[in-house]
A and B are shown apart, each in its own frame.
Chain A
Amino acid sequence: MTGWLDALIQGALLGGLYALFAAGLSLMFGVMRLVNLAHGDLIVLAAFAILVVATKLGLDPFVAVILASPILFVIGFALQHVLLNRTLGRDLLPPLLVTFGLSIIVQNGLLQTFSADSQRLRSGAIETASIPLGGGIAVGVVPLLTLLSAIAVILVLNFIFYRTPVGRAFRATSDDLEVAQLMGIDINRIFATAMGVAFVVIAIAALFLGLRANFDPTIGPARLIYAFEAVIIGGLGSFWGTLAGGIVLGVAQTIGARIDPEWQILAGHLAFLLVLVVRPRGLFPRALD
């Protein structure tokens, strides 16, 4: 019995990580209808950025991420402004192709700069610290922080979206691009800002990925699919939905693994298919579009 309870708890914590992977993707899709195939590689890029800041300045990764975030905001802003805005239009294909190319460029660029060595963010004793819950169940501090950070990121994103002027512009462009432009919104600027915010979310995801496992330039794409599934399960455009999607995915995987480790990945995909069959628009779709 405690075995299943343990699977449930570990699954929810794992879901926090998936939700963090997915939050940035959800934001990009929600605001600019951009399907970003380079998302996994951008997470790895951010992890390397944190690593460089942490090792060059001798900082803890938790501090380094605060310093790396503004840099990544600027990179995201520039990327959207200079490159991705040119690809957005009625046709879905150009952004797909460009982000696919971007994924290859980021991977090989990182390989050239950092070699194939696997890296890790180091943060001392907290890495293996845990809180015992009794009955042989323990909760790792880092996984717990991951879930709490995911919740915090969603809270902040919701605040930006529903309580600030820039959030109103985000929602307006998302609802109707043309009318938003008629109302005097500079969509290029809004999209670039959204991408900058998404990059900060990516940096937080990268921090917890780097604390949990090794990363090297090639592991990005393996993370992309979970991010996509979490967004789709939760429903497009809903941040709380993305969190729920991540947790559904994480719990399905740990329960599957409990039955047999061969089932771990499959169980996640089955949960995803099940949601698509029962609620094709996801658990909490934001609007009818």
Chain B
Amino acid sequence: MTCHENGSTHRSQIDRRTLLKYSAATGAALSVGLKAPAIAQTRAIKLGYVSPLTGPLAAFAEADNFIIANFKDATKAGAKIGNANVPVEVVVKDSQSNPNRAAEVAKDLIVHDKIDLMLVASTPETTNPVSTQCEIEEVPCISTVAPWQPWFIGRQANPAGGPPAWRGFNYTYHFFWGLEDVIAVFTNMWSQVATNKSVGGLFPNDGDGNAWGDKVVGFPPVLDKGGYKLTDPGRYQNLTDNFSAQIGAFKSANCEIITGVVLPPDFTTFWKQALQQGFKPKVASIGKAILFPVAVEALGKDGHNLSSEVWWSPNHPFKSSLTGVSAKDLAGAYQSATKKQWTQPIGFAHALFEVAIDVLKRAPDRDGKAIAATIAATNLDTVVGKVQWGAANLPPFAAKNVAKTPLVGGQWRYKDGKYDIVITDNRTAPAIPVGGQMEAIA
């Protein structure tokens, strides 16, 4: 966090905080004096939830209404916090896929709705502004569905300074996987198919593209070590109508593998143009673009055997700590309730609420500090796997605030007019069963 940015808000905030503290103290003194602490305890606990319900990121939030309805149902009778049964309220705000708007609604939730715990999901454009707002206002926040590097490094005052300059956060916690996991998953998948190890990279000029293509933390060093030859024509602008330059470069380098982190419309344009120009790689592992079945369906039959990272699927051997349903049943309930195919964010949206209720149950106090400390001590088996902060599978500077969930790789298979993802590599998380072997694109 940058000090100069927050200087003025901070000052006015201290005044408000001090006031709140005094009023809280007065209230506490009064309640002690009157011997009626139960009144304060039964005040409903309020969860704030920010997600991109509309705008270009809306596909990520498509399952939110279903998940929240489920959650409200499961906590209808309230949650047992301490000795009391406390009603739980969820206040949902739409970020409209806009980072500025996300920060604004987060502030609104904190100041007007006076939430006790903030939840936020779906891409750094949503999680980062909300987490930053919470850190400033000292409200505990749990976030997910954004690789941890953009979430952690992107919020540093000096992102280029490296680990010595990076600081941990006191109120904001995140669970998801990282860049190192997706690189491992992709290279594991490629090793299953016989290729000439010539890789073409499609990295756009945005946060994700720059991180994936980064010469230090991205794909290039790992591919070098694995004996792969990377052809990276350079950063392109999102929403372009033409990929002939990249296709030309990949053709002349005889690339048999394509990878990248591409927006869905751009990938369709690229793939159609590549096929028109007679370029057909054996493997195409693409992040972001083909997460959702509708995006693959848009390719018609040409989406068969495209591969992607899989964060969650109905075949994951996990079950919900909140409702006890398995991953399979959760996806099934979504499909029968909405008549839409399951998508990966369902599991994570559900897990976010699982962690929230688990934290609230264990929290000794409603105070922000107490809740934050309780989040840090979480060790919960959720529908997306174990969520535990402070684990050893992360670099020390990030371990306090980041918990990693398992990541595997899968391929889209076209069958009877519809696409299903089949998990084809689980070397990164052997607990998750594979559904088949990698197949080369015919």
Contact = CB atoms under 8 A, between A and B. Distances in A.
Interface string A228-264: 0000000000000000000000100110011011101
Interface in A117-140: 117-120, 122, 124, 127-130, 132, 136, 138-140
Contacts of A261: 233-236, 245-246
A117 B294 contact: yes
A265 B243 CA distance: 12
A218 B272 CA distance: 21
B273 interface: yes
Nearest to A9: B244
A265 to B, nearest CB: 4
B239 interface: yes
A11 B237 CA distance: 17
A157 to B, nearest CB: 22
Contacts of A212: 241, 269, 272
A10 interface: yes
B270 to A, nearest CB: 9
Contacts of B55: 111, 116, 218
A216 B234 CA distance: 26
Contact of A264 (B236, B248, B277): B236
Given A127-B300, A132-B278, A261-B246, A214 B264 contact: yes
Interface residues of B, number: 41
B300 A264 contact: no
B272 A127 contact: yes
Contacts of A7: 244-245, 248
Contact of B54 (A11, A17, A111, A219): A111
A61 interface: no
A257 B233 CA distance: 9
B205 interface: yes
A264 B233 contact: no
A104 B265 CA distance: 21
A158 interface: no
Given A3-B248, A7-B248, A261-B235, A213 B56 contact: no
Contacts of A71: none
B265 A219 contact: yes
B242 A120 contact: no
Contact of A115 (B62, B236, B264, B266): B62
Contact of A120 (B57, B59, B268): B268
Given A120-B268, A214-B295, A128 B245 contact: no
Given A7-B244, A130-B276, A257-B245, A116 B54 contact: yes
A139 B244 CA distance: 11
Contact of A138 (B58, B264, B265, B278): B278
A222 interface: yes
Contact of A213 (B59, B241, B252): B241
B302 interface: yes
Contacts of A11: 242, 244
Contact of A142 (B244, B276, B277, B295): B276
Nearest to A257: B245
B125 to A, nearest CB: 13
Interface string B243-265: 01110100110000000000011
B275 interface: yes
A284 interface: no
Contact of B275 (A14, A128, A216, A257): A128
A264 B268 contact: no
A116 B56 contact: yes
A30 interface: no
A118 B272 CA distance: 16
Given A116-B54, A116-B58, A118-B295, A128 B235 contact: no
B240 interface: yes
A254 B245 contact: yes
Contacts of B235: 261-262
A13 B55 CA distance: 31
Interface in A79-115: 108, 111, 115
Nearest to A130: B276
Given A138-B277, A214-B264, A216-B56, A128 B248 contact: no
Contacts, number: 127
A215 interface: yes
Given A262-B236, A264-B236, A214 B298 contact: yes
Given A3-B248, A136-B251, A212-B269, A14 B239 contact: no
Contacts of B239: 219, 222
A6 interface: yes
A10 B242 contact: yes
A213 B265 contact: yes
Contacts of B242: 10-11, 14, 250, 253-254, 257, 264
A3 B273 CA distance: 16
A258 B276 contact: no
A24 interface: no
Given A257-B242, A262-B235, A213 B62 contact: no
A285 interface: no
A111 B97 CA distance: 13
Contact of B298 (A120, A139, A258): A120
A214 B265 contact: yes
A17 B277 contact: no
Of A17, A140, A142, the most chain B CB neighbours within 10 A belong to: A140
Contacts of B205: 262
A262 B246 CA distance: 11
A57 B161 CA distance: 59
Contacts of A140: 272-273, 276-277
A76 B205 CA distance: 37
Given A117-B59, A140-B277, A265 B300 contact: no
Contacts of A3: 248, 252
A143 interface: yes
Nearest to B295: A118
Top 3 closest A-B pairs, CB basis? A116-B58, A140-B276, A257-B245
20 contacts: A6-B248, A108-B54, A116-B57, A127-B302, A129-B276, A130-B277, A138-B278, A140-B272, A212-B272, A213-B241, A213-B265, A213-B269, A214-B268, A214-B298, A216-B265, A250-B242, A253-B242, A260-B234, A261-B236, A262-B237
